[in-house]
Structure 1
Amino acid sequence: MYYNCNLKGGTLMNAEKITDAELEVLKVLWLREPLTANQIVEEVSKQKDWNAKTIRTLIHRCEEKQAVTADRSSREILYSPAISRRDYTRQTQKSLADKLFNGSMSRMMLNFMEEVQLNEDELEELKEMIRDAEK
């Protein structure tokens, strides 16, 4: 099942359709936007050993999937994310809960806590988040 995220322009996209490679383009744009294709290539290349053509293909795919917008009003095309990191994260978490835990976020969180060893500081931070959520 797919869930739609609101985009800046009011249209909808499906975050599940974004590949891990395409996500690298979004990560760069979430940190700094707008960027030209050359700037995106430069930033992604710092993290991944991919050639420029591959990264440009990923930018194009992100645009086709409406994950990025392209401003063509000036000489250089400027790319921006069409979905916020927060919305993308929410949609991805909801999708995972739906797939593996019948939609139960609490069961997903419990499973995560059982699988990951949290230190005292992390546990206290988690308790604080729960207290804040209860308010």
Structure 2
Amino acid sequence: MKTLTKAEEQIMQILWNLKEGVVKDVVERFEEPRPAYTTVATVLKVLENKEFVSCRKIGNTNLFSPAISKKEYARNRFSLFLQDYFGGSFPKLATFFAKENNLSMEELEEMMRITEKELKKDNEKE
């Protein structure tokens, strides 16, 4: 999967929230100062070419929607991050996170409980 530029990711975040929209809808979701309409339209076309966004014509208007889910993109980005910075080792990532955030033993144990609970939920769904 290709990676997104910062501008592309901003637009994808908006589209994931909107579910679908026209260029004007996307522009209106930006904080001031908003990017130009033509800039957003260009980035949406790039996203369509990268197959992150699908577009359907309704009259003279293009309606854009995400072609991949936010979860799918996040999973891919996290996998790349884990591989690039921690050699694919989640324990190394967790250790780094714990050290950088000066987590207490209680906080680490709470993370483990939450993780176990989430994994059990996921296993029950399968």
Q: Verify same fold: TM over 0.5.
A: yes
Pick one of 51, 54, 76 that aligns with 1:66: 51
Residue 110 (structure 1) shift:
2.1
Distance 1:90 1:134, change over 3 A: closer
Whole-Å Cα distance in 2 between the matches of residues 65 and 106 of structure 1?
Answer: 33
**Aligned to 1:35, what secondary structure does the other structure show?**
coil
TM-score, normalised to structure 1, is 0.74
Match of 1:11 in 2: none
Task: Count residues with an aligned counterpart.
Answer: 119
For the aligned residue pairs, the C-alpha RMSD in angstroms reads 2.5
Pick one of 15, 19, 25 that aligns with 2:5: 19
Distance 1:134 1:77, change over 3 A: closer
Match of 2:83 in 1: 98
Distance 1:82 1:104, change over 3 A: same
Unaligned ranges ≥5, structure 2: 121-126
Residue 50 (structure 1) shift:
2.3
Pick one of 55, 63, 66 that aligns with 2:40: 55
TM-score, normalised to structure 2, is 0.79
Whole-Å Cα distance in 2 between the matches of residues 108 and 30 of structure 1?
Answer: 27
Identity %: 26
**Aligned to 1:30, what secondary structure does the other structure show?**
helix
Match of 1:10 in 2: none
**Aligned to 1:71, what secondary structure does the other structure show?**
strand
Q: Which has the higher contact order (CA 8 A, sep 6+)?
A: 1
Unaligned ranges ≥5, structure 1: 1-13
